[in-house]
Every structure is written in C-alpha cells, then in structure tokens.
C-alpha cells in the first residue's frame, strides 16, 4: 500500500498532453455525485495503476489537456484525492474487451460529491450539467475520429427525502435526454446508472422511492441500463460510500451493463 496522494502528485508532475491517436478516442462522460467521483478507501498501487491507453480530460492546472487517467480522476471535486472510484476499472475492462483492435480511451470526469437535482445542480441549465456538456463537447472536438460511446452515472443519495419517485424520474429522464441532445455524437449513446450501497440505511421509504425510480429507468428510456450493486461493500464507518474493492468491482459491472444498454432499443 502506498500514499495515494504522493502517488497522484508524482503522476501529475510527469503528465504531458497526450498525442492524438490516428484513429481517435473512445469517449465516456462520467457524472453524478460522490460514488462516481470515488470515495473508496484505499488506493493500492498494484491494483489502481494507470493504463497506457486510458486518458482523461484534465481539470484545474491541466484543464483542456488530454492526460493520463490517474486514480483519482479529475472530477469537479477536490475532496479526498487519495480515494478510488470506478472510472479507471471500467475503462480497463472496456479496453480489454475490445481486443484485438482496441482504441485508446478518453474519460471525461464531471461528478461532484453531494450534488443533486433538488439542489439545482444536474438539471439542464444547472451548473454541473452545463459543465459536463461543455467538457464533453470540448473532449469530442479534439479529434475528428473521436467516438462518443457512453455516459456513466451514479447519483441519487442527496435526492433521497427531497424528491418523490415521480419527481426524481422526471428530472432524471429530462437530464438523459438533454445530455444526448447536446453532447456531440451522443444522440443515442448508452446511459448506465448505478444503485446505492446495500449497507446504506437512511429512511427506508425515501430510499426505496429513489431506488425504484433509478431501477425503472430502462423501462422508461431507451438505451439505458442499471449496474447492480448487490454484494458490494462500504467504507468502514461510512455506509453511503463504496469501498475501494467494491469500486473496482463496480467498474467492471458498469462495463457489463454497457451491452445491456445497447440492447435496450425503443419499442416499435
């Protein structure tokens, strides 16, 4: 086990803008709140190592640059940089499944911990939504060969107790439609959602209301799917957030859900 902060800083020092591949990148936009950002304790240098073909759209001092995808990714969130999310493990699974002709991957991290629809952050026109659209389009514009592949979304905890099932469903569906309409190349892109930590126990009825809205999304919106969280574990003393082993597993489950979303075609 290593000091993740030191490892992350060392990687930042070595970062340079990545050359554009002749074929372009496969682009994924990652959005939502803290479980998409990654709060999993703890970083492991052997398991969370970068991959030479996986990059991210940088933020902060690296804004507007294609740089190596280093855990933790450059989301719109500066808390707990020594934690692990699902983005890198998802990208590794996708890349390996693309053999023998994989394309390099460009992740666009845009999530923020504690964010919600009810606090006016993810609705079309809200700050986080607009930031995600802006960054997704900027990443897509870097190469004419770029291909937008999918949205990865994990959110809802901060809307528990704030929205009922119908209100959350309406907000979620409107956001998915707006993302597809406004991000280049994403008009029918798969949209993968996640479930809450099984260990998390807020008000049961309020949690169930939002959970059921998320789970029913594939019945409402074509080309969507839900990656199951059954059996995944939380941080010790922090039941709302997946731990690092769970985040690594969840990344692979999101990859498995990609083909499910692709197959969720509109009804005739």
Q: What pLDDT sits at residue 41?
A: 83
* Tens digits of residue pLDDT in 186-213: 999 999 999 999 999 889 999 999 999 9
Is the pLDDT confidence value at 257 over 60? yes
* Tens digits of residue pLDDT in 147-172: 999 999 999 999 999 999 999 999 99
- Return the CATH number of the domain spanning residue range 4-263: 3.40.50.1110
Helix (H, G, I), strand (E, B) or coil at 221: coil
What are the sequence ranges of the domains in the chain?
4-263
Is the pLDDT confidence value at 263 over 90? yes
Q: Up-side HSE of residue 220: CA atoms within 13 Å toward CB?
A: 18
* Tens digits of residue pLDDT in 25-41: 999 999 999 999 999 88
Q: pTM for the full model?
A: 0.92
Helix (H, G, I), strand (E, B) or coil at 183: coil
């Amino acid at each position: 086990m290593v000091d993740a902060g030191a490892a992350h800083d060392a990687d930042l020092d070595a970062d340079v803008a990545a050359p554009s591949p002749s074929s372009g990148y496969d682009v994924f936009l990652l959005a939502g709140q803290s479980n998409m950002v990654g709060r999993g304790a703890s970083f492991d240098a052997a398991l969370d190592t970068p991959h030479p073909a996986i990059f991210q759209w940088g933020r902060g001092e690296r804004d507007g640059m294609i740089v190596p995808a280093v855990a933790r990714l450059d989301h719109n969130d500066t808390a707990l940089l020594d934690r692990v999310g699902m983005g890198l493990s998802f990208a590794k699974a996708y890349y390996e499944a693309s053999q023998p002709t994989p394309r390099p991957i460009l992740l666009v991290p845009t999530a923020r911990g504690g964010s919600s629809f009810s606090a006016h952050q993810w609705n079309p026109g809200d700050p986080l939504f607009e930031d995600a659209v802006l960054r997704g389009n900027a990443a897509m514009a870097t190469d004419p060969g770029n291909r937008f592949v999918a949205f990865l979304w994990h959110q809802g905890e901060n809307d528990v107790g704030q929205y009922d099932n119908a209100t959350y469903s309406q907000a979620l569906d409107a956001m998915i439609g707006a993302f597809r309409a406004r991000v280049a190349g994403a008009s029918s892109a798969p949209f993968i959602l996640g479930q809450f930590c099984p260990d998390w126990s807020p008000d049961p009825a309020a949690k169930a209301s939002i959970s059921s809205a998320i789970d029913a999304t594939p019945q409402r919106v074509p080309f969507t799917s839900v990656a199951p969280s059954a059996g995944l574990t939380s941080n010790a003393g922090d039941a709302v957030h997946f731990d690092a082993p769970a985040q690594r597993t969840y990344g692979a489950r999101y990859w498995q859900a990609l083909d499910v979303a692709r197959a969720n075609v509109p009804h005739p």
